[in-house]
């Protein structure tokens, strides 16, 4: 029975009937538009979340380890980086990189403006890949823990506000008992469009910040831990906190940036809303197309029934026909979606306001599991939605249907 229904459905699909073609076109167009919109929406949202996460990780890594007092009140209590602490962290296979950092709040003052800052010092082990990727002008200084370079890297937004350029000297002020002034020069300018960090942080060497804090080489504000895989970030943070003990504060990037990640979590709900809406639109479109095709083939249904064909076989014919139409629509939907992904990925033709969205182009990302889930889910849901309307065939009487032409 299955081969017979498949054969007849294929013949109907391949026939060139004037009445069926508009109905088929409506069905195919609905699936095409629905799948393309869903593909593009998922690619953009996944790309957006990935881009924001990568920028936050680039600034502060996945996990930070600090002194426990830093979490309880605002102060500058240093973390003593002992050999036992480093040995414990190095033995954790989930950790890919360990890097020290020290921070010092202060202020930049020029002739025309002033700006509150957080001077961040890093050591020679610091991974500079992120900042190299976002450098606009100048260069990164040699980050050292034994000598001060007296140079900093600032963001473009800060440089524009303070009217600074590469090579300029700036006066920085730090308060710790008394006012301490340091004259630094701008070695480079970066731009990440992550305003919470761009408007605050200056990057320099670890030795300079430790000297401002009156700390020795074995002290720092904390350690930044880069993980091999951040898919189990919360679990890894909890296990690491238990292993290190109560004298340390272990926080991940979600805990350090709750507002940003709460906003990103809202985007997950947007994905499901878009999927539900577009699946409904595509499903009802294919249902309308199927009903038109059934009505157009009423005479054929009557002939098949008069020859003894059961309603189940005839229903399978039109369900197979629907699968062909859904498949063609899915092919075109994937073509449109992948074409958009490739064009946007290579040219960045769609732009964004970086002040609101943390980036200047619409980000896109291709996820194979999401792609397969979207296609398989669209096919299954579309066919399931057609099972009910296909029972209309059982109510068509052969005597009436054969006179319908």
Beta bridge partner(s), residue 100 = 223
Structure tokens at 206: 């670890």
Residue among 283, 276, 275 nearest 383 (CA): 283
pLDDT value, residue 1: 46
pLDDT value, residue 19: 45
Does pLDDT of 205 surpass 90?
yes
Give the tens place of pLDDT for each residue, 134-153: 999 999 988 988 888 889 99
* Number of C-beta neighbours around residue 397 at 10 A: 10
Contact 257, 52 (CB under 8 A): no
Does pLDDT of 395 surpass 70?
no
The predicted model scores a pTM of: 0.79
Helical segments of 145-296, H only: 156-162, 195-198, 206-212, 233-244, 253-256, 258-296
Does pLDDT of 190 surpass 90?
yes
- Please state which of the ranges 127-136, 280-289, 291-300 shows the lowest mean pLDDT: 291-300
Residues in the chain: 405
Does pLDDT of 399 surpass 60?
no
Query: What are φ and ψ of residue 289, in 5° steps?
Result: -65, -40
Query: pLDDT > 90: what percent of the chain?
Result: 31
Q: 167's torsion region: left (phi>0), alpha (psi -120 to 50) or beta? A: left
> By CB neighbour count within 10 A (0-12 exposed, 13-18 middle, 19+ buried), where does 14 fall?
exposed
Structure tokens at 240: 């690491």
Residues 6+ apart with CB under 8 A from 170: 108, 110, 152, 162, 164, 183, 184, 185, 186
Contact 112, 174 (CB under 8 A): no
How much is the mean pLDDT over the chain?
84
């Amino acid at each position: 029975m299955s081969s017979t229904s498949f054969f007849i459905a294929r013949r109907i699909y391949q026939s060139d009937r004037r009445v069926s073609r508009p109905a088929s076109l409506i069905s195919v167009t609905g699936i095409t538009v629905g799948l393309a919109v869903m593909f593009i929406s998922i690619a953009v949202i996944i790309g957006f979340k990935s881009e924001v996460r990568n920028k936050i990780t680039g600034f502060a890594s996945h996990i930070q380890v600090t002194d426990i007092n830093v979490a309880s009140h605002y102060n500058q209590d240093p973390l003593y980086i002992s050999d036992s602490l480093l040995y414990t962290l190095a033995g954790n296979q989930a950790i890919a990189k360990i890097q020290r950092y020290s921070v010092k709040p202060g202020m930049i003052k020029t002739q025309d403006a002033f700006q509150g800052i957080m001077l961040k010092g890093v050591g020679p082990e610091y991974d500079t890949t992120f900042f190299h990727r976002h450098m606009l002008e100048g260069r990164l200084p040699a980050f050292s823990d034994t000598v001060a370079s007296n140079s900093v890297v600032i963001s473009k937004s800060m440089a524009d506000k303070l009217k600074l350029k590469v090579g300029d000297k700036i006066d920085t002020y730090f308060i710790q008992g008394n006012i301490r002034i340091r004259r630094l020069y701008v070695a480079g300018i970066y731009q990440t469009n992550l305003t919470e960090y761009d408007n605050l942080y200056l990057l320099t060497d670890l030795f300079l910040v430790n000297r401002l804090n009156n700390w020795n080489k074995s002290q720092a504000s904390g350690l930044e831990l880069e993980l091999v895989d951040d898919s189990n970030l919360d679990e890894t943070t909890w296990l690491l906190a238990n292993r290190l003990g109560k004298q340390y504060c272990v926080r991940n990037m979600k805990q350090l940036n709750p507002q940003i990640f709460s906003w990103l979590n809202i985007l997950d709900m947007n994905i499901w809303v878009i999927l539900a809406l577009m699946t409904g639109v595509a499903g009802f479109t294919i249902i309308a197309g199927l009903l038109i095709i059934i009505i157009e083939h009423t005479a054929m249904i009557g002939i098949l029934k008069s020859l003894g064909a059961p309603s189940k076989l005839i229903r399978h014919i039109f369900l197979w026909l629907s699968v062909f139409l859904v498949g063609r629509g899915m092919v075109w939907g994937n073509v449109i979606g992948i074409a958009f992904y490739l064009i946007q990925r290579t040219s960045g033709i769609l732009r964004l306001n970086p002040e609101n969205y943390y980036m200047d182009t619409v980000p896109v990302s291709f996820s194979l599991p999401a792609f397969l889930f979207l296609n398989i889910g669209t096919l299954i849901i579309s066919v399931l939605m057609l099972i009910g309307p296909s029972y209309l065939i059982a109510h068509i009487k052969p005597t009436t249907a054969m006179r319908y032409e």
